[in-house]
Structure 1
Amino acid sequence: MTTVDIFSLIRSRYNSFTNTEKKVADYVLENIKDVIYMSITDLADACDVGESSVFRFCKTMNLKGYQEFKIALAHSISQGEETPQISGQITMQDTIGELASKILTTNVSALTDTFNLINEGDISTAIDYIIAADRVHFFGVGASLMTAMEAKNKFMRVTNKTECSIDTHLQIMSAALMTDKDVAVLISYSGSTKDTIEVARVVKERGAKIIAITRFAKSPLTSYADITLLCGANEGPLQGGSLSAKLSQLYLLDLLYAEYFKRTHKESTVNKDSTAKAVIEKML
């Protein structure tokens, strides 16, 4: 994508916008630094328009969609800063010590924000679903796939009913074979990833329970979810796959694992001992 000045683009196309698109444009220009951390659903709600209107607003500017719009917005903001930024508040002038301090602050803040967003009732219900399930599928693409694989690795030490497919074709096929006795844990920071949303749609049709781990309470993904667990990291569109976002997701998964282990203590203890013995020969 060629870098564009999104503000100049909005102003140059303003007269060609519909009335609803103008509402979106006005909101963006007045709330620049808030929009960069908003999902398409959040922005639509803030402008009192439909998600389709936000999407058309992006298409009118010859952008592929909302994510490309946010990337262009981030570029435009960074170009307007006096000091070039690498990500967040990290600048080209930072020393190693300053980098270490800023990254620590970002990660601690992400975990703290996630802790403050935890709903104990939702965590408890999620564990009820997982315990009752015949199979638990972890889904994600890109950076979120790595988190899903880590969840599979964590839970397989205490139960044999977890699955995680790497390929998106295999994911959608796995979703198509789920039943109302299964649970899908869908991980997506934005909640707007096409492949993950398609998996959610198929899983919902099959009647399985859906647990979404995402940043935004309102997004295309959460519209399918039975339970939404929110991570607190603020990841800009130029920071895809940031470790702070991943840490917040892993924190929630660790909480789910610990509560699952606690409730299934007898079975999980036996299984954990068995899996530990199985790999002991691999150690020096």
Structure 2
Amino acid sequence: MTDLRDLGDAPLLERLAAKSTELSRAERKVADVVLENPTFAMDATMAAVADTAGVSEPTVMRFCLSMGYDGFQSFKLALAQSLALGFPATFASISATDDVGQLSHKIFDHTISSLDRARRSLDETELDKAVGAILQADRINFAGVGASALVAMDGEQRAPLFGLPATAAPDAHQQLMAAAMATPETVTIVISNTGRVRSMIEIARTARSNGSTVIGISGKTRLSCNTATFI
């Protein structure tokens, strides 16, 4: 069994949703109450949570301890902090019955939660290396296909604002040609949601073989600087 605290500094609601099946049956009743109405759980007394879940107050305390907190109050504090970051996407799914207000709230909640996850997963050492490489570069080549190509095109538009010429070729073949002509003064930024697109890995390897600093950005892995592949 995986300890609930193994999810590190992920917000409480994310940890609870991921690991609620590992709680005892009685503790899962408490988890269900929290997941169904976290705002209620944050404001309620222990007795109110126990009554709503149909369990005893000691069960609520055991639930808090199982989640890695030393009591009900510390659990509620963590819950409040989690709610302040916005509901995870699993709690903000759009339904056909949502009105405009509900839709806007869910979109903002999802965006805030996504930004927080990105912040927590960011490797500041790699980011510093990437910034340093870009500051020393004489040009940037962006590469990406599908939705990642849109990110590459956005980067191409923004780079001249910092005095750097940039290209984002429209297809992987042309991106590979750009990688083949890269020099040690070129920074190649390869964007891939999965980090496993073969054409992007080939572009990264080709650019790196020419001495280009390669920065890989992926939705599944952390930013990595000066690498020839995605891990």
Aligned-pair CA distance for 1:90? 2.0
The amino acid that maps onto 2:172 is T
Aligned residues: 142
TM-score by length of 1: 0.44
1:207 corresponds to 2:211: yes
Aligned-pair CA distance for 1:118? 2.4
RMSD: 3.0
Taking structure 1 as reference, are residues 222 and 126 closer, same or farther at Cα in structure 2, changes over 3 Å only? closer
**Residue number in structure 2 paired with 1:225:** 227
1:97 to 94, 101, 104: 101
Aligned mates of 2:139, 2:99 — CA distance in 1: 48
The amino acid that maps onto 2:194 is S
Aligned mates of 1:152, 1:211 — CA distance in 2: 15
Taking structure 1 as reference, are residues 131 and 123 closer, same or farther at Cα in structure 2, changes over 3 Å only? same
Structure 1 stretches of 4+ with a deviation exceeding 6 A read 221-224
TM-score by length of 2: 0.53
Greater Rg by CA: 2
**Residue number in structure 1 paired with 2:161:** 157
Taking structure 1 as reference, are residues 122 and 222 closer, same or farther at Cα in structure 2, changes over 3 Å only? closer
- In structure 1, runs of 5+ residues without a counterpart are 1-32, 35-87, 229-284
Taking structure 1 as reference, are residues 138 and 194 closer, same or farther at Cα in structure 2, changes over 3 Å only? same
1:175 corresponds to 2:179: yes
Does the residue aligned with 1:157 lie in a helix, a strand or coil? helix
Aligned-pair CA distance for 1:171? 0.7
1:51-85: CA deviation from partner (whole Å, max 9, x where unpaired): xxxxxxxxxxxxxxxxxxxxxxxxxxxxxxxxxxx
Alpha carbons 2:216, 2:225 under 8 Å: kept: no
Taking structure 1 as reference, are residues 227 and 122 closer, same or farther at Cα in structure 2, changes over 3 Å only? farther
Aligned-pair CA distance for 1:227? 10
The amino acid that maps onto 2:95 is T
The amino acid that maps onto 2:119 is F
Taking structure 1 as reference, are residues 225 and 91 closer, same or farther at Cα in structure 2, changes over 3 Å only? farther
Aligned-pair CA distance for 1:223? 10
Q: Which has the higher contact order (CA 8 A, sep 6+)?
A: 1
Aligned mates of 2:202, 2:229 — CA distance in 1: 17
The amino acid that maps onto 2:131 is I
1:151-173: CA deviation from partner (whole Å, max 9, x where unpaired): 11111122143222112221111
Does the residue aligned with 1:184 lie in a helix, a strand or coil? strand
**Residue number in structure 2 paired with 1:186:** 190
**Residue number in structure 2 paired with 1:147:** 151
Alpha carbons 2:190, 2:215 under 8 Å: kept: yes
Aligned-pair CA distance for 1:111? 1.0
Aligned-pair CA distance for 1:174? 0.5
Taking structure 1 as reference, are residues 226 and 121 closer, same or farther at Cα in structure 2, changes over 3 Å only? farther
Aligned mates of 2:226, 2:220 — CA distance in 1: 13
Alpha carbons 1:191, 1:215 under 8 Å: kept: yes
- In structure 2, runs of 5+ residues without a counterpart are 1-16, 19-91
Aligned mates of 2:117, 2:103 — CA distance in 1: 21
Does the residue aligned with 2:161 lie in a helix, a strand or coil? coil
Aligned-pair CA distance for 1:226? 6.7
**Residue number in structure 1 paired with 2:120:** 116
The amino acid that maps onto 2:145 is V
Alpha carbons 2:145, 2:172 under 8 Å: kept: yes
